[in-house]
Structure 1
Amino acid sequence: MDVIIVAGGRGKRMGGVDKAAVTVNGERLIDHLLDEVSVLDALQQVVVVSGRNLEVRPGVKVTAEDPPFSGPVAGILAGMEELREAAAERTAVLAVDAPESATLIPELNEALDESGADVAVIREEGGHLQPLCAVWHTESLWLALNELGDAANKPAKALVGAAGSVTELAGTGEERDYDTLEELAALGEYELPEQ
C-alpha cells in the first residue's frame, strides 16, 4: 500500500500557517502522522503533498500540486503522479490536520476486502463523509481522477462521488481533523511555525 498525505492547504482558519509544521506537545503534525503511517503493514511508498518548503524524514517523498493551493483533488493527483512508477495495489489518502487518522487504515483495508468496492471511506460520527481518510484500489483512484477531469479546486468528496462503488465505515473520532486554533488546543499545547 502507498500513502498520500495531503498537506497543501492554506491553513486560513489557523491564520495562514503551514498546518504540517504546527507542533502539538512538541511534535509537528506531519511527524505525528508519519509515525502512525510508518507502522502500517505492507507499506510501500509515502508521499506528502505540500507547496511549502516542508522537511520530512528520509524515505518520504514530497511533491506539490500545480498550481499550489489548488485543492485536495489536485493534491491527490500530484501524489498519484509521484507514486506512479512503482505504485502499490492500494493507495490510502490522509490529511495532515487529522494526525490520528492513520490508525483507521487497517479497518478501511478490511472493509475494502469484504466489500469489493473501489474505495473504503470513513463517515464521521456527525454524519459527514471524510474523503481524506480513505483507502482506494489504486486503479480505481486513477479512474475516478480521470472521470473528474480538471482536478483544480475540486473538493475531495467529488472524487469519492466519481468512484464506481463506495463502502463506508463508521468513524471512531480518530478521523477528526483540526482546522482552528481552538480545536488544536483540544489536542494539547500547540506552537505555530514562523511565517
Structure 2
Amino acid sequence: MTRPAAGVAGTHALVYDAVILAGGRATRLDGASKADLVVDGAPLLDRALTASAAAREVVVVGPPELADGLGKARPATPRHGAVPAVPPGPMPAARLTREEPPFGGPVAGLAAGLRALPAPGAPWVLVLAVDVPYAVHAVTALEHAVSREPGDGAHLVRDGRAQWLVGLYRRAALDAALDGTDAHGASMRRLVGALRCTEVTDPAGWSDDIDTPADAARLGVRPDR
C-alpha cells in the first residue's frame, strides 16, 4: 500500500547502504554497456556512484569488466549547463558482484547486491538503476520522505508510474519480501508493490531511464568518454 508524499520537511541523518543495478542486457541499445554511456561528461556508472555518495557501503551488480570503472578519478566536463556534471576526483569506493546466473533481472540483481553488503547491514538501502542519469537529484527527496514517514521506504513516481529502481527501502522489509521468492525473473512490482512505501512524485524526470536510442538522445548521451 502506498501513500503520496507531502511537502519536504527537515531530515535527520539516515544510515543506508546502496545497491546499483548495472547488469542488464540493453537489447534495445544493441547490447551497449549502459554503465559506460556518457551524459554531461561522465559515464552513467560514475553518476550512480556519486548519487550514492552518502551511503555507508556501495555494491554494484554487473559484469566483471565494470571493476575497472570503480574508484577511478575522471574529469567531468558539463555539456549542457542545466544539470551539474559529476565532480572530478575519485568516485565513492564500491564493491562489484553479480547475480548467478547472469541477466536474472532487477530482483535477482538486488538480491545479489544485498548478499554482497557487509554484515551487519545498514537499516536502509538505496536502490538505483545505473541507466537513470539524473537520480542524484532524487536522493535528498527520498531521504526526506523516509525521515518524515518511514514505513518500508520511498520511491519515485513519474506520470503515475512507480519507479521502483529509484528508491530508498528499509533493509528488513526487502529481506522479508525476498524470503522464499525465486528472484530470477521476478518483477520489482511484485517484490516492492506490497510494501508500505511513500510515493515521491517526479515532475522533473529525475527517474527517466535510458532503454532506447531515443531515450539516449533525449537524455543527452554522447558517444565519447
Q: TM-score, normalised by structure 2?
A: 0.77
Structure-2 separation of matches of 1:145 and 1:121: 18
Structure-1 separation of matches of 2:29 and 2:221: 15
Question: What code does the residue aligned with 1:131 have?
Answer: W
Task: Name the residue aligned to 2:50.
Answer: 35
1:44 and 2:60 correspond: no
Q: Is the 8 A contact 2:51 2:139 kept in 1?
A: no
Residue segments in structure 2 that go unaligned for 5+ positions in a row: 1-15, 72-92
Aligned match of 1:159 in 159, 177, 191? 191
Structure-2 separation of matches of 1:108 and 1:37: 12
Q: CA RMSD in A?
A: 1.8
Tell me whether 77-86 or 18-27 shows the greater mean CA deviation. 18-27
Shift in Å at residue 25 of structure 1? 4.2
Structure-2 separation of matches of 1:135 and 1:32: 17
Task: Name the residue aligned to 1:85.
Answer: 119
Task: Name the residue aligned to 1:71.
Answer: 105
Q: TM-score, normalised by structure 1?
A: 0.88
Shift in Å at residue 160 of structure 1? 0.8
Structure-1 separation of matches of 2:166 and 2:220: 22
1:169 and 2:203 correspond: no
Question: What code does the residue aligned with 1:69 have?
Answer: F
Q: Which secondary structure does the structure 1 equivalent of 2:60 belong to?
A: strand
Q: Structure 1, residues 140-178: CA drift from partner, whole Å, max 9, x if none?
A: 11111115x110001212111242x12111013111111
Shift in Å at residue 13 of structure 1? 1.0
Structure with bigger helix share is 1
Shift in Å at residue 52 of structure 1? 4.5
Structure-2 separation of matches of 1:88 and 1:12: 34
Structure-2 separation of matches of 1:121 and 1:32: 19
Structure-1 separation of matches of 2:224 and 2:35: 10
Q: What is the 5 A alignment of 1:9-158?
A: 9-38=24-53, 40=54, 43-54=55-66, 55-58=68-71, 59-124=93-158, 126-146=159-179, 149-158=181-190
Shift in Å at residue 86 of structure 1? 3.7
Structure-2 separation of matches of 1:25 and 1:161: 33
Q: Is the 8 A contact 1:97 1:177 kept in 2?
A: yes
Q: Which structure would you say has the larger Rg?
A: 2
Question: What code does the residue aligned with 2:103 have?
Answer: F
1:77–1:192: structure 2 CA closer, same or farther, 3 Å change rule? farther
Shift in Å at residue 74 of structure 1? 0.2
Q: Which secondary structure does the structure 2 equivalent of 1:179 belong to?
A: coil
Structure-2 separation of matches of 1:87 and 1:160: 19
Tell me whether 182-191 or 56-65 shows the greater mean CA deviation. 182-191
Structure-2 separation of matches of 1:130 and 1:189: 21
**Which of structure 1's runs of 4+ aligned residues deviate more than 3 A?**
none
Residue segments in structure 1 that go unaligned for 5+ positions in a row: none
Structure-2 separation of matches of 1:152 and 1:136: 20
